[in-house]
Structure 1
Amino acid sequence: MGRTLFTGGRVFDGTGTAPEAADVLVEDGVIVGVGTELAIGDGDRVVDATGRIVLPGLIDTHVHLTLSDINLVNRVSNPFSLHFFQAVVNCRKTLETGITTVRDAAGADLGLKQALARGLIEGPRTLIAVNMISQTGGHNDGNLSCGVDLALFAQHPGVPSGIADGPDEMRRTVRTMLRAGADVIKVATTGGVLSPSDDPRHAHFRPDELAVLVAEANAAHVHVMAHAQGVEGIKNAVRAGVRSIEHGIFLDDEAIELMLAHGTWLVPTLIAPTSVIEAAQRGELHEPAVLDKALEVASVHRDAVAKAIEAGVDIALGTDTGIGPHGDNLRELPLLAECGLPAYEVWAAATSRAAELLGLSDRIGRVAPGLTADLVLLEGELTDLSDLRGRVTETWQAGRRVYNRREDGNRS
């Protein structure tokens, strides 16, 4: 692959400090130097970053690559295989927004992950949960009272059912997800907004069920992420030992103290309720109960996240993209800032902190020698969080340019 020198720009290293003037030298997909006096050799490729900031490839720790909208009509009328082809487009849009690594929180199977890893399609490096584990009648149970199953994540050989009740079924279901290739186990410990027949405030699964889930995940050396919105479900998940709370809408002081004591992360996904409301405004949402819940939780959600940030809970970027349009992921960043996270810490949440949550700090998330050369070139200042997608000019993944606004902008 040879060597590439990014010169003339400022570097944000991902740790939360202000950008500084520096060059970045990449060789064979790895960062080998960061500084102001890097030597250039004959045949080296030079990228002029003047006027731009070089930052680590961004990381979104909560997406759904195979989910393209929440339109009820589409869910019952689209051919089964269509969502695979839509995922190819979604993966490309993700790269174009500067995101080079994601954690898919349900829906993507091992085939999509391997297609990305083998270069058959272009998209972010992907960790997969396969499917979300839910109790009967819970957030991932798509069976409606009319007898129709409208699960958001269609079951097929690569995505087995996530419904489990009782410790024995929980153990079997976790092992089934691991067999299907899960890099992380996702569990719903409360109801949710998009599931019309449950309540986000209600706790799902009992402590003995969650204890088995975490024990099986620990045995396989994988983390657990918990969809948890109501406060009792959040506390149950934290006490059980999950790695991260996703959403955290109704966090209270006791839950925050528990998260601090256990070192539990928060992935806020502040844009998710807004995305549901916007879908309804576009005429794409046909379930009044879902809209009512989104309207109810939007302001509560931001207040809870602000309290968690003020208390010092670890924050990582996650967007729930798929609920909202792919390519709009960076709309989450100004929402984090509005909740009190300083601008450079917002960028750290999208880079080094997200890498830490995923257990990938030794590979990605910072601009530092020895790490994979995932890089983004951004116009403007990091303290300005407006129009972020429009300011990404280039995305590099493992030392290869995968998006160039000048050449690819018309495809966005």
Structure 2
Amino acid sequence: MARILFSGGKVFDGSGADPVAADLVVEGDRIVEIGAGLHGPEQVVDCTGMTLLPGLIDCHVHVTVSDVTIKSRVENPFSYQFYQAAQNLARTLAVGITTVRDAAGADLGIKKAVEDGLIPGPRMQIAVSMVSQTGGHGDGWMPSGLCLPLGVPHPGRPSGIADGPAEIRKVAREILRAGADVIKVATTGGVLSPTDDPRHTQLTPAELEVLVTEAAMQGRYVMAHAQGTEGIKNAVRAGIRSIEHGIYLDDEAIELMLANGTWLVPTLVAPVSVIRAAQAGASVPESAVRKSKEVIEVHVDSVRRAVAAGVKIAMGTDSGVGPHGTNLDELPLMAGCGMSPGQVLAATTSSAAELLGYGDQFGRLATGYRADLAIVAGDAYELNHLAANVSQVWKNGQLVARDGQLV
């Protein structure tokens, strides 16, 4: 196997400690040596003036969603989303993100296409569909009586709409059968759904407990779209692993998360992206724009208090709501909630890997870990410029992108 020496740069190991000058050797798809003044391999990558980061991880994307307008859902042919997904995955990989968790939309075929090398992209965990009650955040029913979900059900993406423990159990098993690595559930309303409110509580504790049980029996876990306070608490009490968004956290919710070791994936950029799209002229529903404006300030305050309390944070963007390839816009927003640059990068590497169950494989630059690298010019702590400074992306020991373009 070829040995590659990355020489002359600094290394951010993923732990949150500041970058230090070091060389790194990759053999095959693994990191085999880290230290100062390494020599030997014939292939040398000059990293002078650059910082080596672990491959970045986004814990909340929707690769089959490319915009949130009703127009696109009505006018695009059904299969168009899969070709867009290939483009979205490529754009995500090119900015240094080598692993993603798709939070509903991507089916097993998309994941397998990446794994088999048919299309370039980050490795994937998939939720397939989102479990939601009738009239809940995942129900695409419109006041006109038409149903326009973000993800139309198909044989590889079963409907997630269910009510009551028995229906919830059946739907969970169907989603797991379809290849889900994680079950996603909506325990509150949302910004984009037209008939509910982010503060509304959805599904009962008994329904949520069924999901956690079914996931655990298959060695899986549950992630919750949870924005309102009571829905967050219900999710945490039920044993759900991560709270996505977490807009309306109160002190009790934060204490429960700390006591249960629950993760927070803030997706701070999501409501910002809705407003940006509307300002750019996209036909975003007025209700979504209004709710986005209402939640931004309280969202930041909630995340700031969670960070201060020591809640475990992992990076996620809700990309699809915003453009794929702009994922790193989330990082300065996290810093604005009181996280140091080192903490932000750790949340985007080692912490994200731990949340996804990959903590012993990805997210760190250490011997034995998978050789996923994002090499950035200059100071990696300049989070506002990180995306523009990504010079090279390596996945499994192979160069996959240079200067924002796939190779």
Task: Tell me the TM-score normalized by structure 1.
Answer: 0.97
1:371 maps to what in 2?
A: 369
CA deviation profile, 1:207-237 (whole Å, cap 9, x unmatched): 1111111111111111110000000000000
Name whichever of 231-240 and 71-80 sits farther off: 71-80
Tell me how far apart the structure 1 counterparts of residues 167 and 112 of structure 2 sit (CA, whole Å): 28
1:218 maps to what in 2?
A: 216
Q: Residue type of the partner of 1:14?
A: G
2:25 maps to what in 1?
A: 25
2:191 maps to what in 1?
A: 193
Q: Residue type of the partner of 1:17?
A: A
Matched, 1:203 2:201: yes
2:321 maps to what in 1?
A: 323
1:89 maps to what in 2?
A: 87
1:35 maps to what in 2?
A: 35
1:100 maps to what in 2?
A: 98
SS of the residue corresponding to residue 6 of structure 1 reads strand
C-alpha RMSD over aligned residues? 1.1
- Contact 2:68–2:284 (Cα < 8 Å) also in 1: no
How many angstroms does 1:155 deviate by? 1.1
- Contact 2:69–2:283 (Cα < 8 Å) also in 1: yes
Tell me how far apart the structure 2 counterparts of residues 250 and 367 of structure 1 sit (CA, whole Å): 35
2:243 maps to what in 1?
A: 245
Tell me how far apart the structure 2 counterparts of residues 385 and 101 of structure 1 sit (CA, whole Å): 19
- Contact 1:344–1:382 (Cα < 8 Å) also in 2: no
Equivalent residue in structure 2 for 1:267, among 265, 268, 292: 265
2:384 maps to what in 1?
A: 386
Tell me how far apart the structure 1 counterparts of residues 142 and 374 of structure 2 sit (CA, whole Å): 44
Matched, 1:283 2:286: no
1:6-405 aligned at under 5 Å gives the runs: 6-41=6-41, 44-405=42-403
- Contact 2:228–2:247 (Cα < 8 Å) also in 1: yes
Tell me how far apart the structure 1 counterparts of residues 50 and 74 of structure 2 sit (CA, whole Å): 45
SS of the residue corresponding to residue 386 of structure 1 reads helix
CA deviation profile, 1:227-279 (whole Å, cap 9, x unmatched): 00000000000000000000000000000000000000000000000001111
Q: Residue type of the partner of 2:108?
A: L
Tell me how far apart the structure 2 counterparts of residues 52 and 382 of structure 1 sit (CA, whole Å): 8
Tell me how far apart the structure 2 counterparts of residues 56 and 38 of structure 1 sit (CA, whole Å): 19
Q: Residue type of the partner of 2:88?
A: N
Name whichever of 1-10 and 111-120 sits farther off: 1-10
How many angstroms does 1:384 deviate by? 1.5
CA deviation profile, 1:37-62 (whole Å, cap 9, x unmatched): 32314xx2110000000010000000
Tell me how far apart the structure 2 counterparts of residues 141 and 378 of structure 1 sit (CA, whole Å): 41
Number of aligned positions between the proteins: 407
SS of the residue corresponding to residue 387 of structure 1 reads helix
Tell me how far apart the structure 1 counterparts of residues 190 and 397 of structure 2 sit (CA, whole Å): 40
Tell me how far apart the structure 2 counterparts of residues 308 and 286 of structure 1 sit (CA, whole Å): 30
SS of the residue corresponding to residue 236 of structure 2 reads helix
CA deviation profile, 1:141-178 (whole Å, cap 9, x unmatched): 00113121110112111111000100000111111110
Tell me how far apart the structure 1 counterparts of residues 280 and 153 of structure 2 sit (CA, whole Å): 28
Tell me how far apart the structure 2 counterparts of residues 107 and 192 of structure 1 sit (CA, whole Å): 17
Runs of 4 or more off by more than 2 Å in structure 1? Answer: none
SS of the residue corresponding to residue 92 of structure 1 reads helix
Tell me how far apart the structure 2 counterparts of residues 240 and 8 of structure 1 sit (CA, whole Å): 49
Tell me how far apart the structure 1 counterparts of residues 2 and 355 of structure 2 sit (CA, whole Å): 31
Q: Residue type of the partner of 2:260?
A: H
Tell me how far apart the structure 2 counterparts of residues 375 and 203 of structure 1 sit (CA, whole Å): 41
Q: Residue type of the partner of 2:210?
A: V
SS of the residue corresponding to residue 222 of structure 1 reads coil
State the identity as a percent: 59
Tell me how far apart the structure 2 counterparts of residues 326 and 2 of structure 1 sit (CA, whole Å): 33
Task: Tell me the TM-score normalized by structure 2.
Answer: 0.98
Q: Residue type of the partner of 2:194?
A: P
CA deviation profile, 1:5-48 (whole Å, cap 9, x unmatched): 1000000000000001111100011000011132314xx21100
Tell me how far apart the structure 2 counterparts of residues 147 and 336 of structure 1 sit (CA, whole Å): 39
Flag structure 2 segments of 5+ consecutive residues without an equivalent: none
2:2 maps to what in 1?
A: 2
- Contact 2:380–2:386 (Cα < 8 Å) also in 1: no
Tell me how far apart the structure 1 counterparts of residues 394 and 96 of structure 2 sit (CA, whole Å): 8
Q: Residue type of the partner of 2:256?
A: L
Tell me how far apart the structure 2 counterparts of residues 388 and 36 of structure 1 sit (CA, whole Å): 25
CA deviation profile, 1:329-366 (whole Å, cap 9, x unmatched): 00000000000011101000000000000010111000
